[in-house]
Structure 1
Amino acid sequence: MRRLLIDRRGALTRCALLGDGVLSDLAIDHANHPGWLGAVALGRVTRIAAGLDAAFVDFGDRVPGLLSAADVRPTRRDAKIGQLLRTGQSVLVQVKADAHGDKGASLTGDISLPGRFLVYTPLGDGLHLSKRLGKGPQVNALRALFAAELPNQGGWIVRGEAAGVDPGLVLAEAEALLARWRPASLALGGAAPRTLIPPPDALRRAVTELPRDGLAEIMVEGAELLASVKALLTDDAPDLLALVKPWKPGDGRRLFDQGDVDGEIARAAGRRVPLAYGGSLVIDRTEALTVVDVNGGERGNPLATNLDACPEIARQLRLRNIGGIVVVDFVNMGRAGDRDAVVRALSEAVAADPVATHVYGMSRLGLVEVTRARRGPALADLLALDGSDDDE
């Protein structure tokens, strides 16, 4: 059973998804430090960086973003950035990774608007089905249905969440995505830089990315936030409206006191995560990568320790919103078969992550490389920002 809890604490709007009482996913916004991830903008090229085969683009943030030649649309095979863009030119871009450290945002010209069941690509074409839908007669029937019914405008990707859903809901979402794109498409000839579609906030991200199966209720604390949630669901997910409930504590407890969600969030900002049998994970972030060290405690079975650690590693990557390169230092194992079993277990554990995550092989030292796409600021950074605002 899944429950979505939504509250607002100071500058933070927080959406927490619990599965069988365990916190599995977070979507958090900081009102004073908004992100740009997913925003669509009409940008202006400020500089061509031939050495990077990329252009710096002012899209409205304090620091220009980087648009590589491969991400310019429409693209030309093997064309260099100087052949595609010029300084001062207006260009349609979307933020695919927020700025972090000294690096500006990463931009793309391949625009995509995600919904729960579909992803609309206004500059694309054709119909594509997620690999998570699998194969077989039912999938072929789904392809035929949507090929006939989806609007013949741009491209469409059918997500795994569309399996078993009333086709009417999917087609209604297609119309909503088209309606979101139309004003932007009509504003392409205006001044730059200018935001055409704002980034999705925490509420929209939670609704778009949360697993639909088993969702039992959406609990919201606060009348103003409750109205915002209902307005979003009315437009984007009317089938979920019946699950919305206001939080009415009888004993003065706050919504995130349930299941110790506040405590879980605080622990997810720390270094150490306890495991069974006295083991633990120690998670350290550096500018270049994140290191996860698996400690076995008093347990004498390295394979069992490493297998138990895999689901928790996947969970922590999601909760902490860790992106980029991750190196996991597992407890050393002598057998090649054991090492392969741990890599498979970690791959299966991250498979449900809505953010693209890839697991690579294990070295003889027990090191596994993982890459996870950057999707907004890490949880620790958001909480640090909130603390600094409080100090002010």
Structure 2
Amino acid sequence: MSEEILINITPMESRVAVVENGVLQEVHVERTQRRGIVGNIYKGKVVRVLPGMQAAFVDIGLARAAFIHAADITAREGMTGEGISGLVHEGQALVVQVTKDPIGSKGARLTTNLSIPSRYLVYMPSSSHIGVSLKIEEESERERLKQAVSECLLSEGLEEKGGFIIRTATEGADMSAIMVDIRYLHRLWEQVREQMKVCAAPTVIYEELSLPLRTLRDLAAEHTEKVRIDSRETLQKAQQFVGELMPEIADRVEHYPGERPIFDLYGIEDEIQKALERRVPLKSGGHVVIDPTEAMTTIDVNTGAFVGHRNLEETVFKTNLEAALTIARQLRLRNVGGIIIIDFIDMEDEEHRRQVLRTLERQLERDYAKTNIIGITELGLVQMTRKRTRESLAQVLCEPCSTCQGRGQVRTAESICYEIFREILREARAFQADGYMVLASQSVVDRLLDEESGNVADLESFIGHPIRFQVESMYSQEQYDVVLL
């Protein structure tokens, strides 16, 4: 597999694209004025305790108070431990870390179980456990890595100063690389501890890395052939970061000096536009429809033209296989999270169903986010979840349509005409007027003067007053006003 990471920097935003075998797989966007805060550590102040929800709201200096559940609070000396009221109280200073960005109307999600990631390890100050990523499957390698971390900690005298999670990228790493990470994390934690002692609440104690550096830490891997950056300033920061923590990929980080924008060169801009569309075409002639809702995301697979009974099962099977590949890619590309329901085309062959599900599972193994396929319901729907800590691509780049208010539909011109008729009748009963002026969009006025002209004449006769019409070019199809003359 050939993988390249492209980093596009402007004063307003940073964007990252992960391209595998020439195909865009992931895109991440961070606006300068609206950076994500997942991973940031704050000294906050408890502003409200909710015993009924076993939760509390904490002021960390954002526009909205953040939310913390009792299960995410580490019990310490002096706490009674009897529910949320025994763990925190209003006005209390609390050191917390953001686990989920504010999304929509929801505030940030917090925990007191602090963790700081580096290239190979995640340091957990309040733990003493050494864990290994489940994606490292070989038992001998898991044991080797745990032993290596233990020996490094012993040699540094840090064996009783916190726990670690060994990340997936650590597979195959030697002790010297692991030691670099341990020393880096220990220095960083000492700085955080000092800030915790002296700063007042609410304030930020530790900020997560910027998107370009976070990308190098979390996404750059042994199979990454190139990391191309179109900003010399960001390149220098990246080279310094890589030189300290990831020297093995230092020769792969390079500057892109081209006149043509780097995303245009790779066709990324077009792919981003397609990722915002509801319908995704398949090469087989079928298509996938992706519908995010408040509670979950539903995905429907449809075949193309009917090919007859003899080849129908084979056509359905091939369409579903292609859809499984496409769906896994689209989930990464769009950064879809939460509950996901997939409605593949019905297959009679049990082996076909098994192969489609296995194809989906294999493709999701390459996803950096945690995914879990729960199974197939009695209705033949695939249930799965995907953990997401940041906003989806659509949430970053889009907002609800001002015309349809996010419904995805607008009422027809015919419906608006009849609504206007009802409004005129209400006005005629309530007020004395010499006539009525209807202000509406072009499509509605055209219909009133054409298809509905007979109904308009009947209404004028019924109320005994004339009705006039005026086009308002700035009005959407659903907007109108009835003015008394």
Query: When the two structures are superposed, what TM-score results if normalisation uses the length of structure 1?
Result: 0.91
Match of 2:359 in 1: 345
Which of the numbers 169, 175, 200 marks the counterpart of 2:177?
Answer: 169
Match of 1:238 in 2: 247
1:14 matches 2:24: no
1:101-250 equivalent positions in 2, closer than 5 A? 101-150=104-153, 151-152=158-159, 153-189=161-197, 190-249=199-258
1:244-259 equivalent positions in 2, closer than 5 A? 244-249=253-258, 252-259=259-266
In structure 2, relative to structure 1, the CA distance for the partners of 1:50 and 1:338 (3 Å cut) is farther
Tell me if the contact between 1:340 and 1:362 (Cα under 8 Å) persists in the aligned partners.
no
* 3-state DSSP of counterpart to 1:51: coil
1:377-392 equivalent positions in 2, closer than 5 A? 377-384=391-398
Q: Give the partner amino acid of 1:259.
A: Y
In structure 2, relative to structure 1, the CA distance for the partners of 1:211 and 1:199 (3 Å cut) is closer
In structure 2, relative to structure 1, the CA distance for the partners of 1:60 and 1:264 (3 Å cut) is same
Deviation for aligned residue 1:196: 0.9
Match of 1:73 in 2: 74
Deviation for aligned residue 1:337: 4.6
Q: Give the partner amino acid of 1:313.
A: I
Mean Cα deviation higher: 90-99 or 350-359:
350-359
In structure 2, relative to structure 1, the CA distance for the partners of 1:137 and 1:374 (3 Å cut) is closer
Tell me if the contact between 1:4 and 1:18 (Cα under 8 Å) persists in the aligned partners.
yes
Tell me if the contact between 1:3 and 1:218 (Cα under 8 Å) persists in the aligned partners.
yes
Q: Which has the higher contact order (CA 8 A, sep 6+)?
A: 1
Tell me if the contact between 1:126 and 1:156 (Cα under 8 Å) persists in the aligned partners.
yes
1:324-363 equivalent positions in 2, closer than 5 A? 324-363=338-377
Deviation for aligned residue 1:159: 1.5
CA distance in 2, matches of 1:136, 1:288: 38
1:267 matches 2:277: no
* 3-state DSSP of counterpart to 2:244: helix
Tell me if the contact between 1:98 and 1:374 (Cα under 8 Å) persists in the aligned partners.
no
Mean Cα deviation higher: 33-42 or 327-336:
327-336
Match of 1:88 in 2: 91
CA distance in 2, matches of 1:182, 1:206: 24
CA distance in 2, matches of 1:214, 1:83: 49
Deviation for aligned residue 1:72: 0.1
Tell me if the contact between 2:152 and 2:175 (Cα under 8 Å) persists in the aligned partners.
no
CA distance in 1, matches of 2:140, 2:392: 41
Match of 2:318 in 1: 304
Give CA deviations for 1:272-299 in whole Å, capped at 9, x if unaligned.
2222211222112222222222122237
Match of 2:430 in 1: none
Give CA deviations for 1:167-216 in whole Å, capped at 9, x if unaligned.
21222122222222222112223311111111332113211221513211
Deviation for aligned residue 1:358: 1.2
In structure 2, relative to structure 1, the CA distance for the partners of 1:275 and 1:322 (3 Å cut) is same
Give CA deviations for 1:234-289 in whole Å, capped at 9, x if unaligned.
3332332211211122xx32211233112112211221222221122211222222
Deviation for aligned residue 1:304: 2.5
* 3-state DSSP of counterpart to 1:66: strand
Tell me if the contact between 2:295 and 2:339 (Cα under 8 Å) persists in the aligned partners.
yes
Mean Cα deviation higher: 43-52 or 17-26:
17-26
Q: Give the partner amino acid of 1:285.
A: P
CA distance in 2, matches of 1:219, 1:283: 31
Tell me if the contact between 2:80 and 2:86 (Cα under 8 Å) persists in the aligned partners.
no
Tell me if the contact between 2:126 and 2:162 (Cα under 8 Å) persists in the aligned partners.
yes
Q: Give the partner amino acid of 2:333.
A: L
Tell me if the contact between 2:68 and 2:110 (Cα under 8 Å) persists in the aligned partners.
yes
* 3-state DSSP of counterpart to 1:218: strand
Equivalent pairs, count: 384
CA distance in 2, matches of 1:14, 1:316: 18
Identity of matched residues, % = 32
CA distance in 2, matches of 1:88, 1:276: 59
Deviation for aligned residue 1:106: 1.1
CA distance in 2, matches of 1:323, 1:361: 17
Question: Aligned Cα RMSD in Å?
Answer: 2.2
* 3-state DSSP of counterpart to 1:133: coil
Q: Give the partner amino acid of 1:185.
A: R
Deviation for aligned residue 1:225: 2.5
Give CA deviations for 1:344-373 in whole Å, capped at 9, x if unaligned.
332222123221111111123332222122
1:373 matches 2:381: no
Deviation for aligned residue 1:55: 0.6
* 3-state DSSP of counterpart to 2:173: coil
